[in-house]
């Protein structure tokens, strides 16, 4: 709709331009025809206006697309800038243009190059004013009482920069609601519009598992907004030039100077490579698991056999995997084990142990062996 309105306005502008030029600059003779009567004059004006309007019909689409690309480019640049930088640049531009006007008046009287020098001085000083105004924004805006009074404090600036952007996976996971309820999350939670759209598509999927996951994610968002004391913002900005949702998340985090909350390992690495801070709830869960040291004893239930021969696998309440050496024969039983080593990986923590009963039998068998050797010697 916006593009169509711009095209119509451009066609009208081209038609008016042709009509105006033909009215003011039409010669007395054109291609051998004398333009002496009003009817002839108006006829040529109509032909010029129609030709100019037809030119506008052909040129309007490309002009509109170029205008929209330039607008989006400027919008992206301005979104990355703070309001202080924008105001500082505008103030610097005004000061630069005032100085350029004074200097331009001093050089405009020069023959031949006076006009060129005036334009050159205006462009250079305008650019210098914008550059200096943005770099020295704090000192420049300090002279303005309004900005000096309303200048945000460090706490407000920190709060403004602490937006947390939620990923699809972390919303569906559901643990983010419990983390918010505990009060460990500060700053507003930002839910991008394209994430909501992805959740809607998942919730409308024909696959039962995907549909349930999507609906669970929407329920979690409703719970956070209605039941928890956390500020939630829906951010509608989209990046149409990017096709991947992960790329859009990283771009949005760069624009808002925020952090991404996720449990996606690949998104975590991609965001870190591009300088975006990530809060991974899997890493938080691993950090909250109790520390287990070699030699400690615990009671576990062997669930299944392990990858190696004779191994059994058990799990703690927090999901930590315990690999029990010679534990395959105890599948389905609850036994005591002794921790031998702990391995921390990117996927989580693994604990290696051996049955406590085997350790006890080994200790009990040593004295009889020595006793038999003494009897044999005797």
Q: Candidates 3.30.70.580, 2.40.50.140, 2.40.50.100, 3.40.50.2300; correct CATH number of 292-362?
A: 2.40.50.140
Contact 287, 294 (CB under 8 A): no
Structure confidence by residue, pLDDT tens digits, 162-177: 688 888 888 888 888 8
pLDDT surpassing 60 at residue 367? no
Cα separation, 69 vs 49, whole angstroms: 29
What is the per-residue pLDDT for 27? Answer: 60
pLDDT at 373: 39
Most confident range, picked from 62-71, 105-114, 153-162: 62-71
CA dihedral 340, 345, 350, 352 (to 10 degrees): -30
Is residue 323 within 8 A of residue 352, CB to CB? The reply is: yes
For 189-212, what is the mean pLDDT?
A: 86
Instruction: Report the 10 Å Cβ neighbour count for 229.
Output: 7
| For residue 254, pLDDT beyond 80 | yes
Average pLDDT over residues 146-153: 48
Q: Which CATH class is domain 158-286?
A: alpha beta
Q: Is the pLDDT of residue 159 over 60?
A: no
For residue 145, what pLDDT is reported?
54
pLDDT bracket for residue 370 (50, 70, 90)? very low
Rounded CA-CA distance 150/156 in Å is: 11
pLDDT tens readout for residues 311-327: 899 988 777 888 998 88
Q: Which two tokens stand for residue 241?
A: 């030039």
Phi, psi of 306 (to 5 degrees): -90, -175
Domain ranges of the chain: 2-137, 158-286, 292-362
Determine the Cα–Cα distance for residues 322 and 325; give it in Å rounded to an integer.
10
Q: What is the dihedral of CA 24, 28, 30, 34, to 10 degrees?
A: 140
In the predicted structure, residue 179 carries a pLDDT above the cut 80: yes
H/E element, 317 = none
Mean pLDDT of 213-231: 84
């Amino acid at each position: 709709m916006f593009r169509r309105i711009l095209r119509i306005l451009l066609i009208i502008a081209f038609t008016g331009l042709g009509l105006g030029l033909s009215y003011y600059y039409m010669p007395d003779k054109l291609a051998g025809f004398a333009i002496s009567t009003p009817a002839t004059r108006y006829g040529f004006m109509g032909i010029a206006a129609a030709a100019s309007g037809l030119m506008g019909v052909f040129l309007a689409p490309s002009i509109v697309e170029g205008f929209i690309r330039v607008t989006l480019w400027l919008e992206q640049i301005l979104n990355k800038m703070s309001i202080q930088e924008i105001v500082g640049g505008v103030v610097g531009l005004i000061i630069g243009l005032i100085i350029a006007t004074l200097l331009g008046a001093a050089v405009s009287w020069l023959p031949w190059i006076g006009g060129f020098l005036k334009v050159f001085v205006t462009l250079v000083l305008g650019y210098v004013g914008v550059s200096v105004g943005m770099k020295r924004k704090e000192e420049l805006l300090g002279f303005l009482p309004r900005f000096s009074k309303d200048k945000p404090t460090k706490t407000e600036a920190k709060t403004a920069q602490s937006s947390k952007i939620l990923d699809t996976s972390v919303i569906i996971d559901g643990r983010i609601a419990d983390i918010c309820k505990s009060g460990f999350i500060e700053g507003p939670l930002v839910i991008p519009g394209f994430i909501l759209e992805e959740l809607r598509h998942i919730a409308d999927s024909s696959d039962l598992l995907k549909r349930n996951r999507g609906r669970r994610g929407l329920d979690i968002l409703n719970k956070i907004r209605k039941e928890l004391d956390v500020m939630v913002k829906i951010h509608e900005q989209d990046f149409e030039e990017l096709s991947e949702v992960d790329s859009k998340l990283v771009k949005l985090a760069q624009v808002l100077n925020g952090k991404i909350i996720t449990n996606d390992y690949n998104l975590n690495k991609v965001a870190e490579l591009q300088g975006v801070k990530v809060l991974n709830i899997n890493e938080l869960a691993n950090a909250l698991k109790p520390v287990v040291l070699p030699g400690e004893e615990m009671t576990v239930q062997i669930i299944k056999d392990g990858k190696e021969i004779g191994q059994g696998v058990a799990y703690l309440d927090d999901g930590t995997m315990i690999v029990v050496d010679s534990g395959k024969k105890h599948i389905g039983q609850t036994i005591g084990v002794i921790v031998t080593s702990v391995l921390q990986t990117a996927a989580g923590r693994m604990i290696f142990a051996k049955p406590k009963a085997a350790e006890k039998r080994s200790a009990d068998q040593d004295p009889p062996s020595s006793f038999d050797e003494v009897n044999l010697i005797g």
